[in-house]
Amino acid sequence: MKQSFQPIDPPARLLMGPGPINADPRVTRAMSAQLVGQYDPWMTATMDETQVLYRQVFQTQNEQTVLVDGTSRAGIEAALVSLIEPGDRVLVPVFGRFGHLLKEISERCGAEVHTIEVPWGQVFTPSAIEAAIREVKPKLLAVVHGDTSTTVAQPLEELGAICEREGVLFYTDVTASLAGNAFHTDELGLDAVTAGLQKCLAGPSGSAPATFSPRAVEVITARKSVEAGIRREGDAVSAHPIRSNYFDLAMIFDYWGPQRLNHHTEATTMLYGARECARLLVEEGIDEAVARHALHGGAMLAGLRGLGLEIFGDVSHKMNNVTAVMIPDGIDGDGARAAMLDDFGIEIGTSFGPLHGKVWRIGTMGYNARKDAVLTTLASLEAVLRRGGVAVTGGGGVGAAYDVYQDAGAA
């Protein structure tokens, strides 16, 4: 019997979890544009424009600012596999799920990985990281900036100077924080930074913007080994090449550069989307976007407190764009999330590991960092809490958020 399949028609959802979020309609419109060949002059010019835009997004002068085709994890893996040689020492400060991810990927790259840990919801002092660097003497410090599993952001301000002093490469993943929290690659002394589109950049998952300092580029290109099928006389051949072909940044740099090395076929539709994410952010203004996330994240935080919910983690280091709250006693956390989705079409998140089933994570990021999205989510959550038997002050969440907007002159 022939099966009949209907066209894609997803249900209406307001994605107010820790990501992904609803993509900006202008991004999805850009992604509907027709394809062109990967070496068409228009296409290579668009790639060049994308690099210029992401230098502004990352706040860097780095020439090697590119897209890695794949989700944000592809960017992480490309950075680590290209910087790490088997046997290198890597230090990973772990304060949530994604520190564990950096550890695992580094181990798979053959590194000797050392970790330091704090309880989830806390962050490290610079002195603690400095002491670990002096003890371990790593080649690379790999640290998550904002970890959505805990909703807190690790301060990076003093780490670049420490790494420079100790001769350590400095890498961070900013998937959860970029464009919603202050971040300046060059001022922070970073050597490698990777991100994703699906949070504050207001796009879909599938492209990983990344930037690399001259010092990181030197380390990567020292391992350059052009594959046999496209190798020309005089091209580099290494006895110890980067251990991934797809994520070989030495070849990816040449693909994005004037040489236009035929490494892979660019994910054209994702390039369109990534370019539009950056264009919209630059058009809005980086500082203005951070302020927007701070405003709506602050309104959500106040509203959740207005509902009587306990905030998880070190609020002084909380990201602007996501808040974790303890699930109230006496209510089924997963059942409440299901009710939010089924009855109101709103998605909020749970968490991982030691926090699974203990907290909800509620995001205000990218296209959803808006007043109407915040107020609708708070009103819906109040209704679900009431039906679940949780005593809440009527209108307490929405009212507290309104107060934030009024104080900010946004009401």
Confidence band for 13, pLDDT divided at 50, 70 and 90: very high
At 370 the three-state DSSP class reads coil
Residue with tokens 């600012």: 65
The residue with tokens 């209907």 is 6
Stretch 51-59: mean pLDDT: 98
State both tokens at 173: 């993943």
| The pLDDT of residue 239 is above 90 | no
Q: Which residues of 366-387 are buried (b: 16+ CB within 10 A; e: fewer)?
A: bbbbebebbbbbbbbbbebbee
Confidence category of residue 198, pLDDT binned at 50, 70, 90: very high
- Digit-coded pLDDT (tens) for 142-179: 999 999 999 999 999 999 999 999 999 999 999 999 99
32-52: average pLDDT: 97
Cβ proximity of 151 and 304 under 8 Å:
no
Flag the least confident range among 1-5, 41-45, 59-63, 372-376.
1-5
Q: Determine what percent of the chain is predicted with pLDDT higher than 70.
A: 100
In sequence order, what are the residues at sequence separation of 6 or more whose Cβ sits closer than 8 angstroms to the Cβ of residue 105?
Answer: 76, 77, 80, 81
pLDDT the model gives residue 236: 80
What is the SS3 assignment for 6?
Answer: coil
Provide the pLDDT confidence category of residue 235 given band limits of 50, 70 and 90.
confident
Reported as a pLDDT band with limits 50, 70 and 90, residue 237 is confident
pLDDT digits (tens, 9 = 90+) for 282-317: 999 999 999 999 999 999 999 999 999 999 999 999
Q: Where would I find the H helices in 167-285?
A: 214-221, 249-256, 268-284
Task: Give the angle subtended at the CA of 81 by the CAs of 78 and 86, to the nearest 5°.
Answer: 180
The mean pLDDT of 339-365, rounded to a whole number, is 95
- pTM comes to 0.96
Residues 173, 92 contacting (CB under 8 angstroms): no
- The pLDDT of residue 109: 97
Token code pair at residue 219: 């380390």
Tokens linked to 400: 């507290």
The C-alpha atoms of residue 156 and residue 128 are separated, in whole angstroms, by 13
pLDDT at residue number 231: 85
Q: What are phi and psi of 336, to 5 degrees?
A: -65, -40
Between CA 109 and CA 87 the distance in angstroms is 9
Nearest to 66 by CA among 189, 167, 208, 246: 208
Give the whole-angstrom CA distance, residue 62 versus residue 65.
6
Q: Which residues have C-beta within 8 Å of that of residue 19, sequence separation ≥ 6?
A: 148, 176, 198, 199, 322, 363, 365
User: Cα–Cα distance between 127 and 223 in angstroms, integer?
Assistant: 33
Task: Provide the total of helices (H) and of strands (E) in the chain, helices listed first.
Answer: 13, 13
Measured CA to CA, the distance from residue 201 to residue 194 in angstroms comes to 13
